[in-house]
Amino acid sequence: MTDISCFIYLLRPTRPNFIEGISKEEEVILGEHFHYLEKALEEGTLVLADPCLDGVFGVVIFKAASQEEAEGFMDNDPAVKHGFMRAEGHPFHVSLMLK
């Protein structure tokens, strides 16, 4: 699976100790975030999504037809939309990938 043109966004919590001090509201939104990405995986849009184990950031790699579509996907992530995470998006190209 080489030569996939994709986009990537890094997710960073908007406050320190987010994971350790997560509120009930934040738990609900993170559940929506997970389901949003799970649906994208089922639809073939999502390539990879993972959080860092230290909670500093997460990574989402996905396919989109344009920069505008990519920004829409990133901005509609519930964690971003509700302001619990900041997203930083970039065009991304997969050159090598384990099969």
Instruction: Identify whether the C-beta of residue 20 lies closer than 8 Å to the C-beta of residue 53.
Output: no
What's residue 27's pLDDT? 93
C-alpha 80/C-alpha 72 separation (Å) is 11
- Check residue 93 and give its pLDDT: 85
Please report the pLDDT score of residue 19 as a whole number. 78
Q: Is residue 54 part of a domain?
A: yes
> In the structure encoding, which two tokens stand for residue 59, read together?
């990574």
Instruction: Judge whether 63 lies within some domain.
Output: yes
Pick from 36, 61, 63: nearest CA to 49: 61
Q: Which domain holds residue 38?
A: 4-94
Question: Considering the domain boundaries, does residue 25 fall inside one?
Answer: yes
Write the pLDDT tens digit of every residue in 37-57.
Answer: 999 999 999 999 999 888 789
Write the pLDDT tens digit of every residue in 73-93: 999 999 999 999 999 999 998
Structure confidence at residue 97 (pLDDT): 79
pLDDT in tens, 1-42: 344 579 999 999 998 888 788 899 999 999 999 999 999 999
Sign of CA dihedral 31, 37, 40, 44: negative
Is residue 99 in some structural domain?
no
Q: What is the pTM of this model?
A: 0.88
- H-type alpha helices, 43-84: 67-75, 78-81
- Whichever domain contains 72, its CATH number is 3.30.70.1060
In the chain, the number of structural domains is: 1
In a domain, 70, yes or no: yes
Cα distances (Å, whole numbers) of residue 92 to 4, 26, 48, 80, 87: 9, 29, 12, 20, 15
